[in-house]
Chains A and B, each alone.
Chain A
Amino acid sequence: MSHIVTRFAHYMADYEGATVPIQVFDSTSNQVFARPVPLTSTGSRLDQEFGPGTYLIRVVLPSGEILADTISVQSGKDAEAVFKPKRQSPREELSWAYYLQKTPLSAFERASRAKVLSVSDRFQDQFPSERPTITFWAHDANGWKVASENARNIFTGVQYESGPDLEKEGALLRIGIGFQYFGDWQQFPAQIWLQARTSAGSQIAALPTVPRLHVLIASDDDIRNTMPFRIQSSNGSAAVDALLSFLSSGDFESARAIGSSWAQRAEEMLFSKIEDPMAATVGGYFLLKAGELERLHEWTANLSNWFKWLPDGPIIRACHLMTQPQPDAATIRKLLLEALRRGLPYYTIGLRLLQNGLKLLLQRSSGDREIAAALETINPYLEAADPSSGATSFTGEAPDQPGIRVHQAKTLEMPDIRLEYGEAES
């Protein structure tokens, strides 16, 4: 019997060891191994022995890319499976953006796609020359206000980086952010958002409250958007990044593969002290969307009550209560309204759950003006939001002025075939 060692072809700096679902199949197409495994450039030994033979090792990256390697295992000798993704992060420290989240389109791929689609000049030429200007916003009990990078009760530091080596891989600007942690995230003063503006307009995204955060402003291959760029932010841990990406893309099976063991550990930690409220938030969303509802326990009350700057806390609490027998509509109503009072949910999943919950309540009680008003407030954000982004991100002039994603491309009128961009190739 022997072992299989899996190795990722690229070093991922702080994200070495990101857990991903790995499957192993034998030559008769039977699955003989399926567990989350750390993805490392030095190699991870699967904790199982394999007999001699041919095996397929397949891994699903949170970016959506599937990697596979067919190897031969010989008796008494470890065999290595190497995974080399097609897209390579231009920097090790950006590996989270390229492997753990939806990847920005590289210049080569943009050019190739443009050739096939006859994409309008707007999307070929406008990107990526203009570096966006950045504004930070804070939301607290008094509403929205601009936050200074020098505010020491919020930031420990903000660093910017741009340049041709980033641009050739589709990245306009890289920002490193340190948030001030006084030993207890309950003391954090506000919810922080980032606004990126160019001459084409403005986009605003939530910044997860973690000690150290990376933001990448990159080309956006989602050409529905009026914006030529998208804002990606890390979530402070590879596990959270990966889980959020799988949930956002609807890959529930992969989310369960890595989420279940993680949730078990989190359950034990979260009951008494929530050290990482963002991780707890994503864990809560995982359990609601793809996990075992029975794992939602009273820690959701702590998440809601202890972190007054976290709108997602009351949303998760409300959804948790809805899994109980005879949920109390009044309590759920109060929690959803509290969520909106605190600001906008950090995560797009939360934004959708908030809208869903408000609509459910309104259809039960159509005369509820407060719920109707809450929907009037939240709906424009859903209209302006980037639905593929894990962290809430929307177009708008200011956080309280969400914009509209209006599709501007040319169309060719043909029955049942309406082309998105330009003319059909004949």
Chain B
Amino acid sequence: MSIVFDARLPPTAAQTHVLIIGVGDYPHLLGGSKFDQQPAANSFGLSQLTSPPVSASAFANWLPMLANRRTPLGTVDLLLSPAVYTDGRGNSFVVDLPTMAQLKTAFKAWSQRSDANSANVAIFYYCGHGLEKEGTTILLPSDFGNPVEANISANMIDFDLTYNCNLLEASARTQLYLIDACRETPTQLLSLRTSPTALISTMKLQQLPRDAPVIKSTNSGLKAHGDPGKISFFTQALLECLQKMGARGQNGGRWEVATSSLGQAMKYFLQRMRRQGVPPLICDVGGRSNFDTTIHTLSGPAYVMSSIDCDPDSALAAAQFVIRNGAVSVDSRITPQPEPYDVDIPAGQYDIEVTFAVAQFVSKVCPQLMQPPFTPCTLEVDR
């Protein structure tokens, strides 16, 4: 275990326990430190990654800002490869490597911490190589492909079985799983006859109500994306939605992020992220959720993702937009474009002024309320 945050709350007090895994260095894959002496017999075309440790560390560094009065942040356990963690203050620490053995130990410990109180919130985050076979999401620890292990599947994680077992083992009613990994099926994987391994097992069978969504960074059969050495797109979406975009509503004047609103907000956020040469980004929400849970309260305003366009469509290509809050201009798009005007704006009431460079359409001002996470706005325009 490498606990990088510990609020030292009583173990049975309701709190949030987080397990973060970032796997970038795979020694037995191409480019790895042990590839020359101990190459993986079958690498499925995978090699080193640079984004996961950065992404995982970014999430770990944000977590002390998690604000949840009912279940404050209790612990953060972090495993990285390379096994060096730099915290928000620039201090570096050695943490545990996410080998299969270490992951089993860490997962079991995190599950047991979460089990101490059914009001606990348990958050699991993984960023690294992933695959999919027969509908099962497979995560790869850092020692994946170690030829010393005769059974290649012994170092492949069956995430779905792990998830289902932990819903039974850990009494924490709210369990959030964040998987930032590809979900492709290499053809060589289809010929694998052994099954991946769960991180935890159980003899329990009774299913209790759970809020346990699984948010994945891509759909079945697809890749996840990120710039080399930088926070992945999925983790960027996670952090932005936790900090600003993912609110569900207000409680006592403060905006709250819930498991339901987080997943939906991340979907819209990723859809709106456009990167040259990268396919449309997507986010898959699954799992089980018998109720909703507030996991974080924003310290400031909630932001709204909005997409502003015109009806008829032909007016959009000639439209100029100015968004005002009273007399103050908060955003604008003066150069007409054929695509909708995407804007991120604090929740509230605005006036949207649309003017046209051509005389074909009539300019107007439309009052508009903006509510998180996503409020589309179509301005009906007269000719």
Determine whether B311 belongs to the interface, using a CB cutoff of 8 Å to chain A. yes
Q: How far is A426 from B349 in the complex, measured between Cα atoms in Å?
A: 40
Contact residues in B for A359 (Cβ distance below 8 Å): 158, 160-161, 164
Q: Tell me whether B64 is interfacial, beta carbon within 8 Å.
A: no
CB-based contact B50/A416 at 8 Å: yes
Decide if B285 touches A249 in the complex (CB within 8 Å).
yes
Residue of A nearest to B286 (CB): A250
| A5→B165 CA distance, assembly (Å) | 47
A191 CB to nearest chain B CB (Å): 21
B residues 256-306 near A (Cβ < 8 Å) are: 260-261, 263-264, 276-280, 284-290, 292, 302
Q: Please, what's the 1-or-0 string for B342-381, where 1 marks a CB less than 8 Å from any CB in chain A?
A: 0000011100000000000000001111110011111000
Chain B nearest CB, measured from A176 CB (Å): 31
A45 interfacial contact with B, CB 8 Å: no
A-contacting residues, B170-198, CB 8 Å: 184-185, 187, 190, 198
Pick the interface stretch among B5-13, B89-97, B205-213, B328-336.
B205-213
B201 interface residue, CB < 8 Å from A? yes
Q: How far is the CB of A117 from chain B (nearest CB, A)?
A: 6
Are A224 and B205 closer than 8 Å at their CB atoms?
A: no
Docked Cα-Cα span, A26 to B171, in Å, equals 38
Known: A251-B264, A289-B290. 5 other contacts (CB 8 A): A56-B369, A68-B377, A70-B367, A70-B369, A322-B206
Do B279 and A117 touch (CB < 8 A)?
Answer: yes
CB nearest neighbor in B for A382: B135
A404 to B202, CA, bound (A): 32
Please measure, in the bound complex, the distance between the C-alpha atom of A100 and the C-alpha atom of B348, giving whole angstroms.
30
**A360 near B165: Cβ-Cβ < 8 Å:** yes
Q: Output the nearest chain B residue to A355 by Cβ-Cβ distance.
A: B135
Q: What's the minimum C-beta distance from B235 to chain A, rounded to whole angstroms?
A: 13
Asked if A379 meets B134 with Cβ closer than 8 Å, knowing A56-B369, A416-B227, A417-B225, the reply is: yes
B151 to chain A minimum Cβ distance, whole angstroms, is: 14
Q: Does A404 contact B349, Cβ atoms closer than 8 Å? A: no
A305 within 8 Å of B (CB atoms) = no
Quick one: CB contact mask for A355-398 with B, threshold 8 Å, 1 for yes? 11001100110000000000000011011010110000000000
Q: Does B244 contact A (CB under 8 A)?
A: no
**CB-based contact B135/A290 at 8 Å:** no
Chain B interface size band reads: 35 or more
* A70-B368, A323-B208 known; A418 vs B292 contact (CB < 8 Å): no
Instruction: Tell me the A395-426 residues at the B interface (CB within 8 Å).
Output: 404-407, 414-421, 423-426
Contact across chains for A326 and B206 when beta carbons are under 8 A apart: yes
Bound CA–CA A72/B365 (angstroms) = 14
In the complex, are the beta carbons of B249 and A31 less than 8 A apart? yes
- Please give the distance in Å from B132's CB to the nearest CB on chain A: 9
Q: With an 8 A cutoff between CB atoms, is A98 at the interface? A: no
Q: A289-B289, A407-B184, A416-B226 are in contact. Are A324 and B284 (CB under 8 A)?
A: no
A407 contact set on B, CB distance < 8 A: 184-185, 221
Chain B: CB-nearest residue to A379: B134
Interchain nearest-CB distance for A44 vs B (Å): 20
Question: 6 closest Cβ contacts across the A-B interface?
Answer: A250-B285, A424-B277, A382-B135, A56-B369, A252-B289, A379-B134
Residue of A222, A323, A360 contacting most chain B CB atoms (<10 Å): A360
Q: A291 to B376, alpha carbons, bound, how many Å?
A: 28
> Nearest chain B CB to A352's CB is how many angstroms away?
7
Asked whether A67 is an interface residue with its Cβ less than 8 Å from the other chain, the reply is: yes
Contacts of B348 in A (CB 8 A): 29
Q: How far is the CB of A235 from chain B (nearest CB, A)?
A: 20
A68 adjacent to B206 (CB under 8 Å): no
Chain B residue with the shortest CB-CB distance to A253: B260
From the candidates B168, B208, B369, name the one contacting A55 in the complex (CB within 8 A): B369
Closest chain-B Cβ to A149's Cβ sits at a distance in Å of 32
Any chain A CB within 8 A of the CB of B220? yes
Which residues on B sit within 8 Å (CB–CB) of A327? 205-206
> Does B223 lie at the interface of the complex (its beta carbon under 8 Å from any beta carbon of A)?
yes
**A416 pairs with B184, CB closer than 8 A:** no
- Judged by a CB distance under 8 angstroms, whether B111 is at the interface is no
Binary contact readout B103-136 vs A (1 if CB under 8 angstroms, 0 otherwise): 0000000000000000000000000000001111
B51 CB within 8 Å of chain A: yes
B311 contacts across to A, CB distance below 8 A: 84
B228 proximal to A (CB < 8 A)? yes
CA distance A66 to B213 in the complex (A): 21
Q: Are B190 and A404 in contact (CB under 8 A)?
A: yes
User: Of B185, B261, B368, B374, which one neighbours A66 at CB under 8 angstroms?
Assistant: B374
On whether the beta carbons of B205 and A54 are closer than 8 Å, the reply is no
Which chain A residues (175-227) contact chain B, with CB distance < 8 Å?
222, 224
